[in-house]
Chains A and B, each alone.
Chain A
Amino acid sequence: MNEPILSVRSLDVRFTLRGRLLRAIRQISLDVYKGESLAIVGESGSGKSVFTKTFMGLLDQNGFIAGGEIFYGGADLAKFKTEAQWRAIRGREIAMVMQDPMTSLNPLKSVGAQITEAVALHSRLSSSAAKGAAISLLADVGITQPERRFHQYPHEFSGGMRQRVVIAIAMACRPKILICDEPTTALDVTIQAQILELIKSLKAKYDLTTIYITHDLGVVANVADRIAVMYAGDIVELGTANEVFYDPRHPYTWALLSSLPQLGVKGEELYTIQGTPPSLFAEVHGDAFAPRNPRALKVDFVARPPWFDITPTHRARTWLLDPRAPKVEPPAHIRKLREEGAKLREK
């Protein structure tokens, strides 16, 4: 594998909300490798967006990094204080594609002006050169007749086309890392597939590292080399796409995969996860998922599980992997996935 491009060490992010402290990210360590495609999966509130926002200094006013490091290009982003420091990173090194193309574009400015703005802000091009760059960006993201489209306004674009424009803006300064935060959630399935293809082709063409944030496991299966599963502000399982889908080890990953309607059988109950995620205002004891896990061990309620390595690339944070733990069989759905995975690997 390549060398890490971004290294997060014991990151702790907190928010102050009405005088109370919320622990949004609880001690996450993660390496993102150069040229890979990493997907961060989790439910809303798991902290996946907050986690990646820290790489760009985009935390809300009431949020702050309480500890840990984010190493990128020899600097520790967690120590950044001024906007000037961040400006050297945002867009130029790390860029982001937001979820909703309806709200992330300015309706009062032509699409061309918005892309040119992004180009001009970060480079010293003349205005005509910036315009030329913007038009070639539009062509790059698959918009036909870019010269004509350049002068049009966002409302003249369909949802998919708008998302292409948002991607063009993100690509304006040739970033090294592209973070895609639910890039296709607001789009139709056929358009979604095209946008994912586009991001993949840009990744290959410009040697990008991509980080996807999504709750859609179908999208994850399509785009990810590696998957990090997040729950309650922590990564609970990390592995290659095949490892996480065909041989998941954490009970939360089991539950997530089991509840998918795609894998359900018509006429049978779908598996559901009982209860709700823990409140992050209070200190979480033990394994955060234990109260919702029917297979939880006693130790899960007391001590936070350490990482256990399954393969050099696959690790999970669950006591089930401790040599002293009793043998716990995963649910039927997961056993089936494991068998299918084994068959695929033989081929």
Chain B
Amino acid sequence: MKNNRETLLSVRDLRVAFGSRRRRFEAVRGVSFDIYRGETFGLVGESGSGKTTIGRAIIRINPVSDGEILFKGERISGKIPRALDHRLTQEIQMIFQDPMASLNERAKVDYIVSEGLLNVHRGLSEAERKKRVEQVLRKVGLLPEFASRFPHEFSGGQRQRIGVARSLIMEPEFVIADEPISALDVSIRAQVLNLLAALQRERGLTYLFIAHDLSVVRFISDRIAVIHLGKIVELAETEALFLHPLHPYTRALLSAIPMPDPVAEKQKVLEVFDPSKMDRSGAPQLWAELEPGHFVLGTERELDDYRRRLF
């Protein structure tokens, strides 16, 4: 339905495995999705589901064992030319989860923020570099004089802003935000979410937002993919997913979200995902579109079930 949209990133049948042949573990088991330019794509799953691995595969930290990743139509997985690798460093950036662990404790903010620039723009003058650091710090709501300080002098929220500044200074088109707010306090979360949203409006950024907390993902994402044990089980536009969650795993995840509403919370019935109740006849798993833009993984029999639920 959104055919007029430009596909920025395309993940095709991605597999990522760790370990040697004898103790091989496949963390991502055949994942495909497209991310359109300017949208926020939420990737939701529990720890161990492979969501972070996908993010790291896109930014080329984890090698891909099968399948491919296309960015603006170009393959960026596996062996790629050096020039392209260089360009990707600038165009794709990542914001990490824990602002306490992801900043170099022994470097000043000035260096932390501009380290990426030094690699990509070799000929940058010192004055120009300083100017860009100053600009980006202002942009994320920090004072330019913070540049001469060390990370330990900042609060968690400020540190996460430094992390955002570090990726923004590269002027990326695509930002992978891996649980950017889960380590932050409630009141600070709102600040970082607002900042991400404002930057998206201003610069037309595209986000891959990785999180385990569906309530936050709902607020920020246009479309959401739910991942379970290395496979995407459901993908839909945000409101469609919340309106008609179809896959039992998605339903369990949704029912478990704690809502800040005591009456609703105390009446709520937990849905528990029981893999043994799934179709185990060995029938092939299909990836089907049950309403426009709403995809679910299941066997023919399960899909019939979901269709009935929908209508």
Contact = CB atoms under 8 A, between A and B. Distances in A.
Nearest to A258: B190
A261 B46 contact: no
Given A221-B259, A270-B193, A190 B265 contact: no
Interface residues of A, number: 43
Grouping DSSP codes into helix (H, G, I), strand (E, B) and loop, the A interface class, with mixed when no group exceeds half, is helix
Interface stretch (B79-87, B103-111, B215-223, B292-300): B215-223
A217 interface: yes
B265 A221 contact: yes
B193 A219 contact: no
Interface stretch (A22-30, A121-129, A171-179, A271-279): A271-279
A217 B258 CA distance: 8
Nearest to A273: B187
Given A188-B47, A189-B214, A272 B261 contact: no
Interface string B166-210: 000000000000000000011101110110010000000000000
A303 interface: no
Contacts, number: 117
B185 A44 contact: yes
A156 interface: no
Nearest to A271: B190
Given A188-B212, A189-B213, A259 B260 contact: no
A146 B265 CA distance: 31
Interface string A278-302: 0000000000000000000000000
Interface in A246-260: 246, 255-257, 259-260
Nearest to A216: B258
Given A43-B185, A44-B185, A188-B46, A197 B215 contact: no
Interface string A328-347: 00000000000010001000
A262 interface: yes
A44 B188 CA distance: 11
Contacts of B283: none
B238 interface: yes
A193 B260 contact: no
B256 interface: yes
A192 interface: yes
A195 to B, nearest CB: 11
B252 interface: yes
Interface in B238-271: 238, 252-253, 255-266, 268, 270
Contacts of B273: 190
Interface footprint category on B: 35 or more
Q: Which of B190, B252, B253, B255 has the most CB of A within 10 A?
A: B190
Given A222-B258, A245-B260, A259-B189, A276 B155 contact: yes
Nearest to B215: A262
Contacts of B262: 221-222, 224, 241-242, 245-246
B215 A270 contact: no
A189 B259 contact: no
B48 to A, nearest CB: 9
Contact of A218 (B189, B220, B258, B272): B258
Nearest to B257: A189
22 contacts: A43-B186, A43-B187, A188-B46, A189-B253, A190-B46, A190-B252, A190-B256, A192-B256, A215-B186, A216-B258, A218-B257, A218-B258, A219-B258, A221-B259, A222-B266, A222-B268, A261-B218, A270-B190, A270-B219, A272-B187, A272-B194, A276-B155
